[in-house]
Amino acid sequence: MQMLPIDRRKLLLGGITSSVLCPSQAASGSEVDDTLRSSIARRKIPAVVAMAASANKILYRGAFGQRDSSGVPVGVDSIFRIASMTKAITTVAALQLVEQGKVGLDEPVAQHLPQFRDIAVLQGFDANGRASLGPARTAPTLRHLLTHTSGLCYDNWDGDMFRYASQNPVGDPAQAGPLMFEPGTRWQYGQGLDWTGRLVEAISGLTLEEYFQGKILQPLGMRDTSYIVQPAKFERLVSNHHRNEQGFLEEDERKLPALPKSYNGGGGLYSTAADYVRFTQMILNHGVGANGTRVLQAKTVSSMEVNQIGPLAAGKMKSFKPNVSSDVDMQPGHTEKWGLGFLINTTAYTGGRSAGSLAWAGLYNTFYWIDPKRNVCAVILMQFLPFVDKEAIGMLDEFERSVYRSVVG
């Protein structure tokens, strides 16, 4: 496999102007290059693009591997499916509406989404395995949706939802629920941000694509981020792969994605490392993008960075679909919390991010973290299933350690 680092002399990244690394940064960046070059070959990962930045400056960028089996090399402007990395952007959209007084974090979302009126909650399963439902005692709120404590679960990672979905495979996508538990009583990753997207659309009168472009993406200069891959950008779209029964990564057919019929706040965006770094820089800079554009108030960003789930623990997820995801445990042996939009590690990573850093990921092994204490954010994009595959996590860990060792210092 041919692996080509990007040319750091180039000033234009997918139409977005970026600064050239200074000589000292280039020298330290070469150590990260070596780490990624070695890791991608050893782990047999088809492609990886990675970037690290402070609030206002790019610290590292590199691209290795191939777009697809044709051998075209990837670059920092290559386009990836970022799946649940969409959720943080949806969270920002919802919090903008909170700032404007159009919705409250703790008001029932049924005030804006009638699908949540009289929503049902799972009571259990009878002797024949049939689900028993009853009315929810607690009305789900926007805070519940944003913190994955609403009871809306994905069947990938919740046993009750997996069991319920296997009995009810044809559901009405316009109908919310049922909840797998009373809101506020558990943390379980799920559909809360999917429905937050519908809330944003209901309040704003815009589609998510329209809202994101007008209020977040274009203001931050994220010109390659969209639910739609334009034909002119198809050459930059990276192929997806999946691990087959023999354990090898097999390439999926690469074709221009169809235009979406609707937009999902929980996933569906396409983006680049260069674009998503701009988003993470905005969080580091208390709501202001590296280009000087404010999209959130500083106090709102502060609320995103602190524990919003009390004594509950977050981030541990058992997989019920191993071809889609392995079991998720980002920091084994440690407790994690959830803010508004982000997983928060309560203990520093060895050789890596500080305690109190913010992070999440996308299903196809795309990852980011934001470390306010060290003023550094980073994005690393791969494109294969299952999620948190051991080789993807190994690549993420090696990249993170090399960034802190040679770039952050």
**Residues with catalytic function:** 84, 87, 189
How far, in Å, CA of 399 to CA of 406, rounded? 10
Q: 115 Cβ partners below 8 Å, 6+ apart?
A: 174, 175, 176, 195
How far, in Å, CA of 370 to CA of 364, rounded? 20
How far, in Å, CA of 26 to CA of 20, rounded? 9
Q: 402 Cβ partners below 8 Å, 6+ apart?
A: 31, 32, 35, 36
Q: What angle do CA 58, 64, 68 make, to 5 degrees?
A: 125
Q: 57 Cβ partners below 8 Å, 6+ apart?
A: 19, 290
